[in-house]
Amino acid sequence: MKNLHLSTFTRVSCLCLISALTAGILRADDHLRQPDLRTNQIEDYRSQQSLLNRERASSSTGGEITNSDLGIQRPVEAKETGFGYHLGFETKIGYSNNPASMDTTTDNFDSAGVWVNSLRNNFLLGAFDLGGASFSPLASINYSKTNHFGNDALEILDSDSLSLSFAGIFQFSGGWSLRGSLASSFDFNPNAGMEQTYRQTSPTLAVGKGFQIGDAQSFIEWSVAYHYTNTVSPPEDKMDRFETALMLGLTVPFGNLELSPFLRFAISKYSNEDTTFNKDQTDFLANLGLQLKYSFTEWFSLKGYLNLSTRNSNIAGKDFTRIDPGFGAALDARF
């Protein structure tokens, strides 16, 4: 027991030390950023599911899971009370051919290196058996810092972001799930005394289903959300929009190596009708990604990734294509 406590303390100490070392002052500006483009949905989903799956497996009778086509569904006996915690740190360094996510028919963008450091905290606030389903409330606090290098002109894209969310997740037999959530994100300019440059609050409702094919796990989720926003330049609510999205993912293990491709398609309809900015704008967004993860231990892994993002809009000058390859390392501790 003493060694277990020491191991846990060592992991937490490493996480705190690395996050402190990478918390340097960055520079940011608002006019080139695309605050309505968020690319962390897959990371958030994987992080939450990892904590839920681990807690459910440990809370089931003898580790037994109900028999179905889903390896991640609710246990035979969910705990009436329980607490789970995931602390994760990830550092990623990569290249982007279009870091500003701007119109690819213009010359107003250039490639750059991108360095992202993220600290994630997920809290499982219990697992409750409702008879035909289980219910898990989950809270998250995440912080990330993005820095661009190799192109001094794009340092104005650097940003600090804080996100807070609360979700209630129902899991049903057959792998079905229903998730309601409320999330807020805040962007800051550390070059101007951490001035807030953007705020977004998003109520979301999602329906999903998980599958297991051999050792591989996959999921599909459809969501609807409304994003209430506030920007530093008027009109402050110009980024308000309705969004519906379809997300699909697959994880295939090969020993300590995992191959994880994903797809996300979304349609956004902006609701700002009182000015010409974003008026009647409708966007179609697509994200295609691939991640390779090699786990040296339960809490340390290396990753390689390749992401392709596109936006097609009915407004001229809003389209873009972006390719982001890179690699990174992650530390994870679960309690």
Average pLDDT score over residue span 78-101? 82
Give the pLDDT score at 128. 87
Average pLDDT score over residue span 80-106? 83
Indicate the residue type of 234: P
Q: Collapsing DSSP states into helix, strand and coil, what is residue 142?
A: strand
Give the pLDDT score at 189. 80
Name the residue with higher pLDDT: 251 or 110. Answer: 251
Q: How far apart are CA 171 and CA 74, in angstroms?
A: 6
Q: Give per-residue pLDDT as tens, 282-318.
A: 999 999 999 999 999 989 999 999 999 999 999 888 8
Name the residue with higher pLDDT: 65 or 157. Answer: 157
Exposure b/e, 113-128, CB count within 10 A at least 16 = b? bbbbbbbbebbbebbb
Q: How far apart are CA 69 and CA 58, in angstroms?
A: 20
With 90 as the cut, is the pLDDT of residue 242 above it?
yes
The total number of structural domains in the chain stands at: 1
With 70 as the cut, is the pLDDT of residue 25 above it?
no
Distances (CA, A) of 274 to 227, 236, 270, 314, 317: 17, 12, 12, 18, 20
Q: Residue 289 is part of which domain span?
A: 2-334
Strands (E) in 150-281, as ranges, are 159-172, 176-189, 195-213, 216-231, 241-254, 257-270
Which one-letter DSSP state was computed for residue 155? G
Give the pLDDT score at 82. 65
Q: How far apart are CA 273 and CA 281, in angstroms?
A: 10
Distances (CA, A) of 96 to 11, 111, 134, 240: 32, 6, 41, 27
Give the pLDDT score at 6. 44
**Cβ atoms of 74 and 171 closer than 8 Å:** yes
With 50 as the cut, is the pLDDT of residue 185 above it?
yes
- Is 67 exposed, middle or buried (CB count within 10 Å of its CB: 0-12, 13-18, 19+)? exposed
Distances (CA, A) of 160 to 111, 271, 292: 20, 27, 26
* CATH number of the domain within which 297 lies: 2.40.160.40
Q: How far apart are CA 238 and CA 187, in angstroms?
A: 16
